[in-house]
Amino acid sequence: MKSLKDQLLQAGLRPTQSPKAANEREHIKKKQITEAVIHQEQRNFCEECQQVYPDVELYHHRNPTTEAEWICVKCADRLKIPDSFRQTAQSDTSIKKMFRREHGATRSSSEFKTPSHSAKPRGPINGNR
């Protein structure tokens, strides 16, 4: 006695495409991570107000009311931290030359040195670095 499946195949009925094959997707190759990829090139999280802003910069200040170093312009103005304590010009507003302080004078972005990662590409990858 033949199984029902064999009898249907003999009668000329062919199976349809299985649902599993219809749901299969192409294998997507992941991008290879190289040293050319710079992680966290710009910081945009203000440690003082715990918010994300496009104008966060690094300040090495002597203000005793806060221990935050990555501070947005609004908090730096509120804490009356002079712009002379600013160490970076890495924010979006600084790159677009829109960075402006309300408390005191604003240093120009040309006074800050450029980051070392943009100077030149690195050599071949060496695991012993």
Predicted confidence (pLDDT) per residue in 45-65, tens digit: 999 999 999 999 999 999 999
Length of the chain in residues, anyone? 129
Residue 31: pLDDT band with limits 50, 70, 90: low
Q: For residue 78, is pLDDT > 90?
A: yes
Q: Which residue did the predictor score with more confidence, 29 or 110?
A: 110
Block residue for tokens 């670095």: 129
- Rounded to whole angstroms, how far apart are CA atoms 87 and 100? 15
Predicted confidence (pLDDT) per residue in 80-129, tens digit: 999 999 999 988 888 888 888 998 888 887 787 765 555 455 555 555 54
Handedness of CA 78, 83, 87, 93 (dihedral sign): positive
- Rounded to whole angstroms, how far apart are CA atoms 83 and 111? 12
Q: Which residue did the predictor score with more confidence, 104 or 22?
A: 104
- Residue 119 has a pLDDT of 47
- Which residues 6+ apart lie within 8 Å of 66 measured at CB? 48, 79
- Residue 126 has a pLDDT of 54
Tell me the three state secondary structure of residue 50: coil
Residue 120 vs residues 36, 39, 42, 125: alpha-carbon distances, Å:
10, 16, 18, 15
Q: For residue 73, is pLDDT > 60?
A: yes
Q: Which residue did the predictor score with more confidence, 10 or 14?
A: 10
